[in-house]
Amino acid sequence: MIIRFTKSALSCFSAILLASLAIGIPAMAQNTTSIVALVNDEPISNHDINMRIKLYLANSKEMRTRLQKKLKSESTKKKWRKLIDEYRPQSRAEAADLQKKLVKSIKAEVQASMKGKLKKKILKELVDERIQLQQANKLGVALTDEDLDARLESIAKRNKNTKTGKPLTRVEFTKSLRSMGIPIREFRSRMKAKSSWIRVVRRKFQYQITIGDQDVDRLIDTQSDSTIKMKTVYKIQRIRLSLASSASEVNKARRLVKADQLRQSITSCKQLQKAVGRIDGASLKSLGTKPADTFPHTMRSYLNNTKDGHLTPATLTSSGVELYAVCERKKRRIADKTKRRAVKEKLRQEEFQILARRHLQDLRQDASIEYR
């Protein structure tokens, strides 16, 4: 029986071929294992490059996009019609087999078109990885095979077996990668280089990176998030007139009078340093910029009713008599602690990346790299 394909069946061709994307990327023809580069006498071969290209193509968004576009094209549909006319499949199984062959040939075409462009990029990546791993080995922080197994185990657990619904084991996860055409050895090699390099950078720079509250505030001001609220913030300085815990009521009253006199004389925060310096046992401390709701309710009321450049009413504490200077107030977008921690970590990672790039550039300049 001859199967006849209608126009509507041909129009479904793109969808059928796209479903065939589940078929693994076919193995690329390997060149000889000739050496193309030496990095501090450690070789990189054509085989290394081909395996990395295979890994890249198996997980490449660009590859998938190009392939989908090619499968949907009119030229591919014409090829399919030509194959139907030439081979005249007698069953759906024969037609499906013909489709697989066509998809395989189209994948090979797309791969070939990308390979030339990728080779230079991949070679640079492999050179950098050799340098990174050599540095990690030098510092004794390179991942071991046991480390890699543990990381793969952790990744596997975050994925579920479609049949049992249980987390994948490392072996199951590895088989899944292999079924998608991903070369496992190359996958582990890349993971080892990247993760070991992170250890190098952290060891060298972790104590050099300081992210302050102002850095966090600047980034938060640029973000749009439901957890970020507009609040009033105050730039505050604290004046404290020391007082012994055993001070008499008379001495307490005298300190309160002195504090009130200071309060009446100040109309600008620029006056504080000199004015406080003239009072025995008085100190001045900047508290930075803080949201109003970080202060007790009474103090919040004082701050709200105190003009910029002026002092709040004096209060008696266990440490002495205290007043607060409101040097500036403004509306600012304020995030909660969880959001601030996330923003701070983001800034830390960005700093790490900058330092990592500079360090790799320095190591690259010092390395002996020979291209053949």
pLDDT digits (tens, 9 = 90+) for 98-152: 888 888 888 888 888 888 788 999 999 999 999 999 999 999 999 999 999 999 8
What is the fold, at CATH topology level, of the domain defined by 229-333? Answer: Chitinase A; domain 3 (3.10.50)
Q: What is the pLDDT of residue 30?
A: 43
Q: What is the pLDDT of residue 178?
A: 86
Confidence label for 336 from pLDDT (cuts 50, 70 and 90)? low
For residue 273, give every residue at least 6 positions away whose Cβ sits within 8 Å of its Cβ, in sequence order, or none: 284
Whether the pLDDT of residue 233 is over 60: the answer is: yes
Quick check: 164 and 175 in contact, CB under 8 A?
no
138, exposed or middle or buried, with CB in 10 Å at 0-12, 13-18, 19+? exposed
Report which of residues 332 and 173 the model is more confident about: 173
Least confident of 6-20, 73-87, 125-139: 6-20
C-alpha span between 234 and 288 (Å, rounded): 8
Range from 26-30, 55-59, 189-193, 362-366 carrying the lowest mean pLDDT:
26-30
Top-confidence residue, 313 or 30:
313
287: helix, coil or strand? strand
Residues 179-232: pLDDT tens digits? 877 888 999 999 999 999 999 999 999 888 888 777 777 776 676 666 666 778
User: For the ranges 2-16, 204-218, 338-352, which has the lowest average pLDDT?
Assistant: 2-16
**What whole-number distance in Å separates Cα of residue 115 and Cα of residue 40?**
26
Q: Flag whether pLDDT at 173 surpasses 60.
A: yes
How confident is the model at residue 33, as a pLDDT? 67
H-assigned helices in 140-183: 145-157, 170-179
Quick one: average pLDDT of 300-329?
90
Decide if 114 contacts 28 (C-beta within 8 A): no
Average pLDDT value for the chain = 84
- Residue 175 in tokens: 């088989």
Supply the pLDDT for residue 38. 95
**Model confidence band, residue 26 (pLDDT cutoffs 50, 70, 90):** very low
pTM of the model as a whole? 0.59
Instruction: Report the pLDDT value the prediction gives residue 105, as an integer from 0 to 100.
Output: 87
Domain ranges of the chain: 7-205, 212-223+335-372, 229-333
